[in-house]
Amino acid sequence: MVYLWDLLVLAVGATVGSFLYVVALRYGTEKSLLAGRSLCPACHRKLSVIDLVPVFSFIFLRGKCRTCKAKISWQYPLVEILTAIIFLFLFRSPLALIVWCLLIVIMIYDWRHKIIPGGLVLVFDLLALTMAVLNNLGGDLFSALLWGPLFAAPFFLLWYFSGGKWIGLGDAKLGLGLGWLLGAASIDAFILAFWLGAAVSLLIVGWQNWRKSQRKLTMKSEVPFAPFLFAATFLVYFFKINILGLINFLFY
């Protein structure tokens, strides 16, 4: 019975993930976030139920539109699977679930547009602050609230001294909420986010050089950082990745 419940939670999470992807695509446009059928971006055919089953439709259609055979982005099933996993962890914690759903939309939007949506980040920050207060009532509330500004400060300084060339102000605003969400684990997420960003960038450069691609990643290339912040936060929040402990183990 437990397994059936878990499968139900995963199915609901994947369905919500599909919706979150649509929200990220439509946010900031004239399209309604709640109304209107989904369309194939290539042939503009209205998608039917068989095209919209989370994850399975992508597999059965082999990542292509059923009509025009245009490729479907791998981001769709990835977001659906990711959201399903988060639902499995947090379905008993509605507020935390909403916070993570917002994070997913912010991550997708930044990945596609290379800009962090200010309105969504404001809501995320307020909800993360609420979580920090509720989780630390009767405890060290001051320290819990301090982690928000501490996590945001390095991003703000990078933005300020580079005139916005190294990093955007949106990353600092996002860091404020992430600090409240993670608390002391913010340090681990901060280090891990930069490690992930550096590793992925090196992999992209290596791949481009191997394929002799005309479009190459350089120091002047604009790379969205929110997805790396999201990945680091995900690993630290759900799997308790302890980067400081690892560094201490390796070097001391």
Residue-level pLDDT at 113: 86
Residue-level pLDDT at 25: 87
Whether the Cβ atoms of residue 79 and residue 17 lie closer than 8 Å to each other:
yes
Residue-level pLDDT at 226: 84
* Alpha-carbon gap, residue 158 to 225, rounded angstroms: 13
Residue-level pLDDT at 219: 46
177-188: buried (b, 16+ CB within 10 Å) or exposed (e) per residue? bbbbbbbebbbb
Q: DSSP assignment of 144-199, as one string?
A: HHHHHHHHHHHHHHHHHHHTTSSS-HHHHHHHHHHHHHHGGGHHHHHHHHHHHHHH
Q: What are phi and psi of 65, to 5 degrees?
A: -60, 135
Whether the Cβ atoms of residue 179 and residue 151 lie closer than 8 Å to each other:
yes
* Alpha-carbon gap, residue 179 to 186, rounded angstroms: 6
Asked whether the CA dihedral 46, 51, 54, 59 is positive or negative, the reply is: negative
Residue-level pLDDT at 217: 53
Q: DSSP assignment of 116-148, as one string?
A: --HHHHHHHHHHHHHHHHHHTTTS-HHHHHHHH
* Alpha-carbon gap, residue 14 to 2, rounded angstroms: 18
Distances (CA, A) of 168 to 72, 81, 183, 222: 30, 29, 23, 10
Distances (CA, A) of 42 to 35, 46, 65, 68, 170: 20, 11, 9, 8, 31
pLDDT tens digits in sequence order for the chain, 252 residues long: 558 888 999 999 999 999 999 899 888 776 766 666 677 777 777 777 777 888 888 888 888 887 788 888 888 899 999 999 999 999 999 999 999 999 999 999 998 888 899 999 999 999 999 999 999 988 889 999 999 999 999 999 999 998 888 888 999 999 999 999 999 999 999 999 989 988 887 887 777 777 666 555 554 456 678 889 999 999 999 999 888 777 776 676
